[in-house]
Structure 1
Amino acid sequence: MRTAIKEVKQKTCKACGGKFRPSLSTQKACSVKCALALAPANHDKARKAIDQRERREIQVRKEKLKSRADYAKEAQSAINRYVRMRDAHLGCISCDKPASWQGQWHCSHFRSVGAAPHLRFNLWNMNKSCSACNNFLSGNIMAYRPALIEKIGQEKVEWLECSNGLVRHDIPYLKRLKAIFTKKARRIEKMHEEAQSWIAV
């Protein structure tokens, strides 16, 4: 008894659009000419996939080489950005520069990271400041304190001043911190953009 030969289904050529019966299941072109016509597109697609894989591998290698200090710096940068956006409507915490000032804004610690590392990521301890006060006047603390009392209250400021402790932020905590505050900053940024679009209308 003869076995019926299964008929190969027709395919549509990716290059010319004509119908053909492939000799291989992976065949996408009806002829050598059409296969050559498809080559640049396939090459570009393959190159893009390879580039993406290489970027991912580089990123993984970089992550493995990072120290705890590197993760702390990234977390600090994310929180600093959030604080500047949170306080965007406010002027400098340490002087009379208004929110409309066109210079560089920083995130200033009331108690410095060196003096109180356990308060490094405490949001009461972090406020928007002009670059002049933060860089050249060490935060301008004499003016910072009364403004901070007005902003968050005497009790919280006194708590910051009296708080002493030892803390070692581990890498998973620092990664989580970065992710949370990156998301929070994006949310505020989106709100600002929406507000601007309403004003424009």
Structure 2
Amino acid sequence: MQNPKKPIRRRCKCCGVFFEPKYHNQTWCSDECLEELKFDQLCRDREKAMKAMERKKRRDSQREERNRKRKQLNPRSYWIKQVQNVFNAYIRERDARLPCISCGTYYGEQCGWDAGHYRTVAAAGHLRFNEDNCHKQCRHCNQTLDGNIGGYRPALIRKIGLARVVALENNNDTHKWTIAECKELINIYQAKLDALRRKAA
């Protein structure tokens, strides 16, 4: 006659007492021990989540610090480009309802819109962020026709007046944009751009 199997006995994970489990994965001997184990697990999960959150905060902080240092190391040309991007976006938004300053077309979407300078950045870098010197221009006039100045000047006189155009033409100052100036201009023109977009919405 076969001997009957001895009942399985297991040690409770909570209190250490031996018990006979009713389920194959049961590790507690009583409801009280089960609640205690659940509470312990909840505490461990909470601690694990807090540590994960702290690690994420630490990584984010380190990333911000790296970005801050990287920005400090960026050359002046980088900051001039950043200003130019937001300045050009502001000019296009400012003149959104106006035609191309040079050829008068309203259909620049076919070739794209630029912010075209009357006096070029190469010839008058000190006027690159002068709002009188920059206006919405179709890409064909700005890039293919090298600014199409023949059409630009008469339209510019009609728009801002002869005196201001002559002032631009006679302005031969020199200026080297500093990083501090660039950062300030980014804030100024981003605020102006945001205000125009809110108004248009």
- TM more than 0.5: yes
1:177 equivalenced with 2:185 (yes/no): yes
Q: Which residue of 2 aligns with 1:135?
A: 143
Q: Which residue of 2 aligns with 1:23?
A: none
| 1:72-110, Cα deviation, whole Å (9 max, x unpaired) | 111111111111111011011111321674542110000
| 1:49-82, Cα deviation, whole Å (9 max, x unpaired) | 1332132112112112111111111111111111
Q: CA separation in 2, counterparts of 1:106 and 1:40? A: 53
Q: CA separation in 2, counterparts of 1:148 and 1:40? A: 65
Q: CA separation in 2, counterparts of 1:100 and 1:188? A: 20
Report 1:33-112 matches (<5 A). 33-39=41-47, 41-98=49-106, 101=109, 103-112=111-120
**1:88, 1:99 within 8 Å by CA — same for their partners in 2?**
no
Task: Report the AA paired with residue 144 of structure 1.
Answer: Y
Following TM superposition, the consecutive aligned residue runs of length 4 or more in structure 1 with deviations greater than 4 angstroms are none
Residue 38 of structure 1 and its aligned partner are, at CA, apart by 2.0
Of structures 1 and 2, the larger Rg is shown by: 2
| 1:162-201, Cα deviation, whole Å (9 max, x unpaired) | 21111112221111011100111011111111xxxxxxxx
| 1:106-160, Cα deviation, whole Å (9 max, x unpaired) | 1000000110111111110000011111111111110111111111011111111
**191 and 99 in structure 1: CA distance in 2 versus 1, 3 angstrom threshold:** farther
TM-score, with length taken from structure 1: 0.75
Name stretches of at least 5 consecutive residues in structure 2 with no aligned partner.
Answer: 1-37
1:156 equivalenced with 2:164 (yes/no): yes
Q: CA separation in 1, counterparts of 2:95 and 2:181? A: 25
Q: Which residue of 2 aligns with 1:123?
A: 131
Q: CA separation in 2, counterparts of 1:150 and 1:136? A: 24
**36 and 102 in structure 1: CA distance in 2 versus 1, 3 angstrom threshold:** farther
**1:84, 1:107 within 8 Å by CA — same for their partners in 2?**
yes
Q: CA separation in 2, counterparts of 1:105 and 1:43? A: 50
**2:108, 2:139 within 8 Å by CA — same for their partners in 1?**
no
Q: CA RMSD in A?
A: 1.9
Name stretches of at least 5 consecutive residues in structure 1 with no aligned partner.
Answer: 1-29, 194-201
**179 and 98 in structure 1: CA distance in 2 versus 1, 3 angstrom threshold:** same
Equivalences, count: 164
Query: Could you say what secondary structure the match of 1:129 adopts?
Result: strand
